Amino acid sequence: MIPPRAAGMLRGVRRLMARLPSLSMARVPDAPAQPVRDRWPGDPARGAAILRGELERGGHRTAFKPGLFGESKALPALRELAHSFVWLRDLRALGTDAARMRARALVSDWIATPVLDPVCERPDVAGARIAAWLGHYDFFAASADDVFRQKLMGRLLADARGLSAAMPPEQVDARAFTALRGLIAAAVALPEHDGFLHRALRVLPQEIERQVFADGCHCERSPAQLLAVLQDLTDISALLKAGQAVQPPALGLAIDRIAPALRALRHPDGGLSLFNGTRETDLALIELALSQAGRATRGPSAMNQGGFHRLAAGKSVLIVDCGPPPPERLDRFSHAGTFAFELSVGKDRLIVNCGAIPYASGEWHDATRSTAAHSTLVIADTNSSELRPDGLGRRPEKVTVTRQGSEEGAHWLDLDHDGYLKPFGARHLRRLFMSDKGEDIRGEDSVIAATPQPFTIRFHLHPAVTASLKTDGEGVLMRLPSGQGWEFRASGALISLEESIYLGGTEPRRSEQIVLTVSHEDDQHVKWTISKGGPRVS
């Protein structure tokens, strides 16, 4: 096996040689030989923002117009977005001649500008750019003059050669599939370069085997990344069909596994559960991705390899993160949210996690990843996993899950993790119960340690939920948007209702959280219930 450092050097040499003029004497094609269509929806509002000279994602903006591609002052995620050209979808969704001309001007400027930002050469960014240029060729390039089209195809071919030489990509996470999608798109559009397809098909099955678990979850343990992988793999499947190439058996099997797992990680409102960098993705996008995957099959209730369990009864759905965080190099989106859960009743979300700000950095980024931003237990205001800019440091190493169910339809989960073993010599035990009708959810949280520890247990409420502390101080009344009333009660802890923030949607929203506080002098065991009750509000 080649050491990682030596493998990286070999990739660098191959990419350099791929760009040498002496090795690039083949004629540049006038246009793609095979049309490649981007199948994913764009956002016309974002397209209009690009016409105004702004690139926007997740509430973060950067100046974006011809002449600025050499700049690298924007947030890293926005720079990746700019150089990937996936925003061509937004201009296409706008659909005006002005949008077409702005797309052409930006592509032309990028080709003509020496870009010093190394992110533009990263395999996943290059792969996304190749797929975007080909997928929107008919929108911005087909009607352009010969000079523009020759420059475009020349740069596209050069990028594809560099991408082929970079295989297998250094990124061992979902970005590898994005790189492969771009290379396969180039192979289909430029069939005379059959080496692109051979190299991609040699790497693809290996990446599928390494990244996609038998239960359909992805190695990064992020519902958002699972959706992205499904999009890339269904795109690859469609590209191979268009190019009349034989599909690796692993590809179809992976898609068949991923789609049910993604369904299991959705709430009844159709949106994704908010674990590990995930937000409420556009429902139409999720539905489109699942439709591209083929026939609908029921999602699993237990995803032991992926580390998620889904408890469903009546109209209630409980989704629990009960797996260890992924290992180093796969933890870029990981949060310190072990044993966090989310609860929905019908179309209403009741208990949530705070969400994520994928395009933020610094304090806000860490705040959303902290244990306190999740509906779980926190010992002494310390995260269950150590947060680092590029992933996690200390983390739970031993996580155990036992699931039981009765013939009547009730569910139990017994959970145990050692994320607090090093700082406090402590373990967190959580037991969750859901009744057969889903109207009675109970929990027990315990801290097992030689020295008693202060801890809090947080239950973040969705912004649409109204809550009030009961006069006896031992419970909280909650009202869903549907008008249905629910009650939270606890014993063994002080109950309070505090401010929170919800970052699962398109914009930050104020919300509330139920907080159970236990001192080191108290019993280290807390019981709580969430039950349907109270008069219905019309």
What's the per-residue H, E or C state across 337-395? Answer: CCCCEEEEECCEEEEECCECCCCCCCHHHHHHHCHHHCCCEEECCECCCCEECCEECCC
Mean pLDDT of the 309-314 span? 95
- The yes-or-no verdict on residue 460 having pLDDT over 50 is yes
Query: Per-residue pLDDT averaged across 8-21, rounded?
Result: 48
- pLDDT at residue 407, as a whole number: 56
- Residue 154 banded pLDDT, cuts 50, 70, 90: very high
- Residue 444 pLDDT grade (very low, low, confident, very high; cuts 50, 70, 90): very high
pLDDT above 60 (res 261): yes
Q: Which two tokens stand for residue 22?
A: 């002496």
What residues does each domain of the chain span?
A: 4-211, 302-532
Least confident span in 116-120, 128-132, 456-460: 116-120
CA 534 to chain centre: 37
pLDDT in tens, 339-362: 999 999 999 999 999 999 877 767
What integer best gives the mean pLDDT of the chain? 91
14 pLDDT tier (thresholds 50, 70, 90):
very low
Q: What is the largest CA-CA distance in the chain?
A: 82
Please report which helix (H) or strand (E) contains residue 48, including its range: helix 44-51
Q: How many CB atoms lie within 10 A of CB 377?
A: 25
pLDDT above 60: residue 8: no
d(CA 191, CA 441): 58
Give SS3 for 216: coil
pLDDT of 94 strictly over 70? yes
Poorest-pLDDT segment among 112-121, 241-250, 274-283: 112-121
Q: Who's near 171: CB < 8 A, 6+ residues apart? A: 122, 123, 124, 179
Q: Is the pLDDT of residue 386 over 50?
A: yes
Angstrom distance (rounded) from CA 430 to CA 71: 49
Distances (CA, A) of 275 to 231, 307, 323, 372: 19, 11, 12, 13
Q: How far is it, in rounded angstroms, from Cα 464 to Cα 478?
A: 10
Predicted pLDDT of residue 12:
52
Distance, in Å, from the CA atom of 82 to the CA atom of 89, rounded to the nearest integer, reads 12
* Domain 302-532 CATH assignment equals 2.70.98.70: yes
Res. 19: pLDDT tops 70: no
CA–CA dist 373, 360 (Å, integer): 16
Checking if the pLDDT of 9 tops 60, the result is: no
Q: For strand 316-321 and strand 426-434, is the pairing parallel, antiparallel, or unpaired?
A: unpaired
pLDDT: which is higher, 116 or 84: 84
